[in-house]
Amino acid sequence: MAGGSKRSTPEKRTLILWALLVRDGAGAFQNELRPEPDKGDRDGLAADGLIRSEKRGRRIWIEATDKGWAWAGENLGADLPKRSSDGSQVLQAWLTRLKAFIDTRGIVLADILAPPPASTAPATEASASSTRSDETSVRERIRRAYLDLTGGHLNQRVPLGEIRARLQDIGREMLDHALTKMHLEDAATLSGIDNPQEITPSIREAGLSFKGEPKFVLWITQ
């Protein structure tokens, strides 16, 4: 992340971004955020294209950009302030969101954090192997379609509708599952669209829901 004032450190700006992303709509007034950004923090995050801000009356409104979501997805292990009491509030907010995700999907925490148990049934192993092979194939086709659409370039915004148009032979459920797995596991990020006027009926129809939030765009970063 770019530099800012003396009080603005990369660790603090990272924590601010996480505090912002956990908010509904990934936006909040500056004085509502903990840690509260100062001008150096805003300037540093804005210089990297991770946020944008504007005056609303006497207050400053800050919201994350698509690039902010993409950066966060690729930097889950980025350093955070080691002596910030605000970190516990941000963690609590994300754990609450995680619980909502678990409840919505009907899974348990171990499904996310623990490795799956090894199966001893040959037929089950063969079936699982086939499923993984199919899923890998779909992911590879998504990646090829993405690169075809971007002219071979990474870190470009590609609407999901354009991906679907290239992969019409793949069922929607299977394609959505592969896109979601890429978002969680691969160097890829699904994001929304900040400007509501850009969301046409066709873009909305091509989107998918992740953690209750609509996603319309795919980014692949490596």
pLDDT bin (cut points 50, 70, 90) of residue 126 is very low
Cα four-point dihedral sign 107, 110, 115, 117: negative
- CB atoms closer than 10 angstroms to residue 185: 9
pLDDT digits (tens, 9 = 90+) for 73-84: 888 888 998 888
Which residues on neighbouring strands pair with residue 28, listed in sequence order? 62
Quote the DSSP letter at residue 29. Answer: E
* Token code pair at residue 186: 């691969």
Say what the pLDDT of residue 131 is. Answer: 47
pLDDT of 198 > 50? The answer is yes
Which residue has better confidence, 133 or 37?
37
Tell me if the pTM is above 0.85. no
Q: Please say whether the beta carbons of 93 and 79 come within 8 A.
A: no
Say what the pLDDT of residue 118 is. Answer: 56
Say what the pLDDT of residue 162 is. Answer: 92
Say what the pLDDT of residue 5 is. Answer: 44
Return the H-helix or E-strand segment holding 159.
strand 158-159
Taking residues 91-98, what's their average pLDDT?
88
Q: What are phi and psi of 83, to 5 degrees?
A: -130, 40
Collapsed DSSP state (helix, strand, coil) of residue 90: helix
Q: Which domains does the chain have, with CATH numbers?
A: 10-87 (1.10.10.10), 119-220 (no CATH)
- CB atoms closer than 10 angstroms to residue 193: 19
> Greatest CA separation found in the chain?
66
